[in-house]
């Protein structure tokens, strides 16, 4: 069932096949609808995929895999959890998740911003990259599983650990990393990070970057940014632009 009022459309996704749901969103966006409210979402995949309209989609429920994949300029707000592949090869726009997210969030993202209130799964930010003036940003309020920032080639990953009581459990952080930067609130042990990365204290430029995105995160989820920023942070950075260069013949 779909109801439309001026520039807002409300779609009840109960039992709606994911292709039909996405086709309806595209059809209405072409007609000038600027805001969507999706209710009873239950696993429908590819919501917002390749969407190049500056629309806002408010999702109530649990969207399926590849939420916002290849997205260009939309804004997705999830009142619940997101599944795997959120922001896959994302080019722009914004995804705000008021819950947890699954594995490979931000896979190969080339731009845009993703904010997650709680925790994420494995391989968050894997192979994120920068393209021209685009720089992907992911801010995670909780913690992540292993291989955080694996093969990262560009962009900014921030993990705040606000849900942690004892510290991060993730291992192989930054494995294969050859670009971009990771900021962690608190600290990790040297055995938790990949051999390709270094750990350093923040410089003035790092603090400017961190403050910008932590304040955005705090505004989305009603946190106290000043309180978060008072805590110590570390920077994880790649030691080389070609960490595996010597294993190749050419």
Q: Which residues constitute the domain of residue 29?
A: 1-70
Q: Which residues of 60-93 are buried (b: 16+ CB within 10 A; e: fewer)?
A: ebbbbbbbbbbbbebbbbbbebbbbbbbbbbbbb
For the four alpha carbons of 74, 80, 86 and 87, in that order, the dihedral sign comes to positive
Residue 115 lies in a domain: yes
Q: pTM of the prediction?
A: 0.94
Residue 44 lies in a domain: yes
Helices and strands in the chain, H and E counts: 3, 12
**CA–CA gap between residue 33 and residue 146 (Å, rounded):** 40
Are 212 and 174 part of one and the same domain?
Answer: yes
Are 92 and 61 part of one and the same domain?
Answer: no
Are 143 and 20 part of one and the same domain?
Answer: no
Contact assessment for residue 68 and residue 78, using Cβ atoms and an 8 Å cutoff: no
Residue 132 lies in a domain: yes
3-state SS record for 110-164: CCCEEEECCCCCCCCCCCCCCECCECCEEEECCCCCCCCCCCCEEEEEEECCCCC
Number of folded domains that form the chain: 2
At 240 the pLDDT is 72
Last residue of a domain, one of 70, 99, 126: 70
What is the per-residue pLDDT across 190-248, written as a single tens digit (0 to 9) for each?
899 999 999 999 999 999 999 999 999 999 999 999 999 999 999 999 987 776 656 65
Q: How many other C-beta atoms can be found within 10 angstroms of the C-beta atom of residue 248?
A: 7
Say yes or no to pLDDT of 145 above 70.
Answer: yes
Last residue of a domain, one of 70, 90, 113: 70
Are 140 and 31 part of one and the same domain?
Answer: no
Are 60 and 105 part of one and the same domain?
Answer: no
Are 9 and 125 part of one and the same domain?
Answer: no
Residue 76 lies in a domain: no
What is the per-residue pLDDT across 82-107, written as a single tens digit (0 to 9) for each?
999 999 999 999 999 999 999 999 99
């Amino acid at each position: 069932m779909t109801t439309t009022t001026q520039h807002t459309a409300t779609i009840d996704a109960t039992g709606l096949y994911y292709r039909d749901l996405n086709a309806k969103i595209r059809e209405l966006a072409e007609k000038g609808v600027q805001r969507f409210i999706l209710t009873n979402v239950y696993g429908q995949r590819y919501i917002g995929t390749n969407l190049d309209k500056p629309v806002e989609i408010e999702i109530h429920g649990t969207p399926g895999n590849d939420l916002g994949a290849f997205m260009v300029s939309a804004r997705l707000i999830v009142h619940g959890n997101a599944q795997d592949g959120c922001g896959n090869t994302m080019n722009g726009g914004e995804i705000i998740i008021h819950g947890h997210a699954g594995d490979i969030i931000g896979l190969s993202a080339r731009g845009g911003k993703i904010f997650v209130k709680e925790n994420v799964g494995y391989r968050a930010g894997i192979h994120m990259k920068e393209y021209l003036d685009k720089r992907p940003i992911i801010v995670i309020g909780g913690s992540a599983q292993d291989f955080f920032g694996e093969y990262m080639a560009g962009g900014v990953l921030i993990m705040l650990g606000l849900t942690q009581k004892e510290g991060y459990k993730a291992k192989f952080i930054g494995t294969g990393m050859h670009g971009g930067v990771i900021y962690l609130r608190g600290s990790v042990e040297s055995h938790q990070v990949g051999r390709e990365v270094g750990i350093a204290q923040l410089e003035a430029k790092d603090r400017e970057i961190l403050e910008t995105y932590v304040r955005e995160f705090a505004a989305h989820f009603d946190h106290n940014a000043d309180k978060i920023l008072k805590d110590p942070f570390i920077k994880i950075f790649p030691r080389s632009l070609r960490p595996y260069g010597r294993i190749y013949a050419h």
